[in-house]
Chain A
Amino acid sequence: MKSVLTPLQSWASLDTWIIVIGALAAMACALPGCFLLLRRQSLMGDAISHTSLLGIVAAFFVSHWLVETNVISPATELSVRHVAMCLGAVIVGVLSAWMTESLQKFGNVESSAALGVVFTSLFALGLLLIRAVADDVHIDPDCVLYGAIEMAPLETFGTSGIPRAVVVNGVVLTINLLLTVVLFKELRLSAFDPALATTQGIPAHVMHYGLMGVTAMTLVAAFESVGSILVIAMLIIPPATAYLLTDRLPRMIGLSLLIGALSSVIGHVSALTLPPLIARSVGIPDVHDASTAGMMAAAAGFLFVTAMLLGPKYGLVSRIWHRLLLKLRIAGEDVLGGLYRFEESAPAPADLSLATERAAWLRSLTTQSWLARLATWVLLRRRWLIGSGSEVRLTDTGREAARTLVRSHRLWESFLAKHFVLGTGRFHESAEQVEHFLDRDLLAELDQDLDRPGVDPHGRAIPN
Chain B
Amino acid sequence: MSAFSLLAADSLWELFSRAISLRDYNTRVVLGGTTMLGISGGLVGTFLVLRKRALAADVVSHAALPGIAVAFLLAERLVPGSGRSTSVLLCGAFVTGLLGMAMTLAIRRWTRIKEDAALAIVLGLFFGLGMALFTVVQRTKTGNAAGLSHFIFGKAASMVAADVWLIGVVSVVIALLCCGVFKELSLLCFDEEFAAARGYRTVLLDWLLTLMAVTVTLIGLQSVGLLLVVALLLIPPTAARFWTNDLKVMSWLAAAIGGVSCAGGVVLSAAFPRLAAGAVIVLTGAGLFIVSLVFGKERGLWPRWQSQRQFEQRIGRSDLLRACYELLEPILGPDETTQESLTKYEIDDLELSAMRQWPAGRFHGLVSSAVRESLLAANSQSGFRLTLRGAAEARDAVRRHRLWEIYLLTQTDLDPRLVDRGADGIEHVLDPQQLADLERQLVTHLPQGIPPSPHPIASATIN
Which of chain B's residues have a CB closer than 8 A to the CB of A115?
55
Which of chain B's residues have a CB closer than 8 A to the CB of A275?
132, 135-136
B280 close to A108 (CB less than 8 A): no
Which of chain A's residues have a CB closer than 8 A to the CB of B125?
233, 237, 297-298, 300-301, 304
B132 close to A282 (CB less than 8 A): no
Residue B128 at the chain A interface, CB threshold 8 Å:
yes
Report which of A116, A128, A295, A297 forms a contact with B276, defined as CB distance below 8 A: A128
Chain B's nearest CB lies how many Å from the CB of A310?
12
Which of chain A's residues have a CB closer than 8 A to the CB of B36?
none
Report which of A42, A128, A283 forms a contact with B275, defined as CB distance below 8 A: A128
A122 to chain B: closest residue by CB:
B286
Report which of B152, B235, B274, B278 forms a contact with A145, defined as CB distance below 8 A: B152
Q: Give complex CA distance A40, B276 in Å.
A: 33
Of B124, B127, B282, most buried by chain A (CB within 10 Å of CB) is B124
Q: Give complex CA distance A230, B124 in Å.
A: 8
Which of chain B's residues have a CB closer than 8 A to the CB of A293?
128, 131
Binary per-residue interface labels of chain B (187-200) against chain A in the complex, 1 for a CB within 8 Å, 0 otherwise? 00000000000000
Q: Give complex CA distance A45, B280 in Å.
A: 24
| B-contacting residues, A214-264, CB 8 Å | 229-230, 232-237, 240, 243-244
Binary per-residue interface labels of chain A (275-313) against chain B in the complex, 1 for a CB within 8 Å, 0 otherwise? 100110011101111110111111011001000100000
Residue B23 at the chain A interface, CB threshold 8 Å:
no
Q: Give complex CA distance A142, B139 in Å.
A: 17
A142 to chain B: closest residue by CB:
B149
Which of chain B's residues have a CB closer than 8 A to the CB of A40?
114, 116-117
B283 close to A283 (CB less than 8 A): no
Q: Give complex CA distance A117, B123 in Å.
A: 18
Residue B271 at the chain A interface, CB threshold 8 Å:
no
A295 to chain B: closest residue by CB:
B132
Q: Give complex CA distance A123, B278 in Å.
A: 11
Report which of B111, B124, B274, B285 forms a contact with A229, defined as CB distance below 8 A: B124
Residue A372 at the chain B interface, CB threshold 8 Å:
no
| A-contacting residues, B198-247, CB 8 Å | 227-228, 230-231, 234-235, 238, 241-242
Report which of A103, A107, A287 forms a contact with B140, defined as CB distance below 8 A: A287
| Interface range on chain A (Cβ under 8 Å from partner) | 35 or more
Residue A109 at the chain B interface, CB threshold 8 Å:
yes
Which of chain B's residues have a CB closer than 8 A to the CB of A287?
136, 139-140
A42 close to B117 (CB less than 8 A): yes
Residue B167 at the chain A interface, CB threshold 8 Å:
no
Contacts A131-B274, A244-B111: A233 and B128 contacting too (C-beta < 8 A)? yes
B301 close to A107 (CB less than 8 A): yes
Which of chain B's residues have a CB closer than 8 A to the CB of A229?
124, 127-128, 131
Contacts A132-B275, A232-B120: A301 and B129 contacting too (C-beta < 8 A)? yes
B299 to chain A: closest residue by CB:
A108
Residue B73 at the chain A interface, CB threshold 8 Å:
yes
Of A45, A116, A125, A146, most buried by chain B (CB within 10 Å of CB) is A116
A125 close to B283 (CB less than 8 A): yes
A-B contact count (CB 8 A): 215
A46 close to B113 (CB less than 8 A): no
A233 close to B124 (CB less than 8 A): yes
B119 close to A43 (CB less than 8 A): yes
B231 close to A236 (CB less than 8 A): no
A232 close to B124 (CB less than 8 A): yes
Chain B's nearest CB lies how many Å from the CB of A172?
19
B49 close to A294 (CB less than 8 A): no
Q: Give complex CA distance A145, B450 in Å.
A: 75
Which of chain A's residues have a CB closer than 8 A to the CB of B289?
117, 121
Residue A439 at the chain B interface, CB threshold 8 Å:
no
Report which of B52, B121, B132, B228 forms a contact with A113, defined as CB distance below 8 A: B52
Report which of B53, B120, B238, B274 forms a contact with A117, defined as CB distance below 8 A: B238
Contacts A109-B238, A229-B128, A300-B124: A290 and B110 contacting too (C-beta < 8 A)? no
A286 close to B140 (CB less than 8 A): yes
Contacts A109-B238, A117-B235: A42 and B120 contacting too (C-beta < 8 A)? yes
Contacts A106-B301, A113-B234, A145-B152: A308 and B228 contacting too (C-beta < 8 A)? no
A314 close to B111 (CB less than 8 A): yes
Which of chain B's residues have a CB closer than 8 A to the CB of A113?
49, 52, 54, 234, 238
Q: Give complex CA distance A45, B54 in Å.
A: 17
B132 to chain A: closest residue by CB:
A294
Q: Interface majority SS on B: helix, strand, loop or mixed?
A: helix
Report which of B111, B124, B141, B227 forms a contact with A236, defined as CB distance below 8 A: B124
Interface size on B, residues (CB 8 A): 64
B276 close to A127 (CB less than 8 A): yes
Report which of B111, B127, B139 forms a contact with A308, defined as CB distance below 8 A: B111
Chain A's nearest CB lies how many Å from the CB of B430?
28
| A-contacting residues, B242-277, CB 8 Å | 242, 274-276
Residue A266 at the chain B interface, CB threshold 8 Å:
no
Q: Give complex CA distance A45, B53 in Å.
A: 18
Chain B's nearest CB lies how many Å from the CB of A411?
36
Binary per-residue interface labels of chain B (287-331) against chain A in the complex, 1 for a CB within 8 Å, 0 otherwise? 001000100000101000000000000000000000000000000
Which of chain B's residues have a CB closer than 8 A to the CB of A356?
none
Residue A316 at the chain B interface, CB threshold 8 Å:
yes
B124 close to A237 (CB less than 8 A): yes
Residue B404 at the chain A interface, CB threshold 8 Å:
no
Which of chain A's residues have a CB closer than 8 A to the CB of B133?
290, 294
A244 close to B113 (CB less than 8 A): yes
Contacts A290-B136, A297-B124: A107 and B276 contacting too (C-beta < 8 A)? no
Chain B's nearest CB lies how many Å from the CB of A48?
12
Report which of A141, A235, A284, A314 forms a contact with B120, defined as CB distance below 8 A: A235
Q: Give complex CA distance A23, B129 in Å.
A: 18
Residue B112 at the chain A interface, CB threshold 8 Å:
yes
B154 to chain A: closest residue by CB:
A127
Residue B168 at the chain A interface, CB threshold 8 Å:
no
Residue A41 at the chain B interface, CB threshold 8 Å:
yes
Binary per-residue interface labels of chain B (346-390) against chain A in the complex, 1 for a CB within 8 Å, 0 otherwise? 000000000000000000000000000000000000000000000
Which of chain A's residues have a CB closer than 8 A to the CB of B286?
117, 120-121, 124-125
Residue B279 at the chain A interface, CB threshold 8 Å:
yes
Report which of B52, B141, B274 forms a contact with A132, defined as CB distance below 8 A: B274
Q: What are some 7 contacts across the A-B interface (CB < 8 A)?
A: A116-B231, A117-B235, A131-B275, A236-B120, A284-B73, A294-B127, A294-B135
9 A-B pairs closest in CB distance? A297-B128, A301-B125, A233-B124, A294-B131, A294-B132, A124-B282, A121-B286, A120-B231, A42-B120
Q: Which residues of A contact B (CB under 8 A)?
A: 37, 40-43, 45-46, 50, 103, 106-110, 112-117, 120-121, 123-125, 127-128, 131-132, 134, 141-142, 145-146, 229-230, 232-237, 240, 243-244, 271, 275, 278-279, 282-284, 286-291, 293-298, 300-301, 304, 308, 314, 316
Q: Which residues of B contact A (CB under 8 A)?
A: 49, 52-55, 58, 73-74, 76-77, 107, 110-114, 116-117, 119-121, 123-136, 139-141, 149, 152-153, 227-228, 230-231, 234-235, 238, 241-242, 274-276, 278-280, 282-283, 285-286, 289, 293, 299, 301
